[in-house]
Amino acid sequence: MSDINMTPLIDVMLVLLVIFIITAPLMSSSLRLDLPKVEGGRSPDTPVVLALAIDAKGQLFVGEQPVSSDELRQQAERAAGRDPATEVQLRADTTVPYGRVAELIGLLQQAGLSRIGFITAGGPAASAPK
């Protein structure tokens, strides 16, 4: 028989595919947020960034550290004092009410930060709400 038997090779490739499918969701951020999915361009890198997140319970985070509204206001005022062009990268869970996000934007603007970007997960937007 002069043909190569491809069955073992295909079996190995399918096993590797299953392993990658199972392990891919495990490689994610430590802060669990359900971000809205929107397609868009990537913003250029800016040197000064304030990373802000709101989880599903409404808790505020600067980076990975939980903060209160007063602490956030103080950190935003310090960041605006150092560089008024500081960009705020806001990540909010899809279940956070719009009013809470609007309050947060107002707090940041009162502190002197006006460059606010919304961070979303890449991919097409969900067609139906959950």
pLDDT value at residue 19: 93
pLDDT value at residue 47: 57
Closest CA to 65 of 31, 16, 23: 31
pLDDT of 90-113, one tens digit each?
998 889 888 888 888 899 989 888
Give me the phi and psi of 21, to 5 degrees please. Answer: -65, -40
| Structure token digits, residue 88 | 């705020």
pLDDT value at residue 42: 61
Q: What is the DSSP letter of 25?
A: G
pLDDT value at residue 56: 86
- CATH number, domain 49-118: 3.30.420.270
Chunk the chain into consecutive blocks of 10 residues (it has 130) and report each block's average pLDDT, rounded to whole numbers: 84 94 74 74 64 88 88 89 87 88 89 87 56
As a whole number of angstroms, the distance between CA 110 and CA 35 comes to: 26
Please state the domain extents for the chain: 49-118
pLDDT value at residue 50: 86
Query: DSSP string of 4-34?
Result: ---HHHHHHHHHHHHHHHHHGGGSS-SS---
Is residue 86 classed as helix, strand or coil in its secondary structure? coil
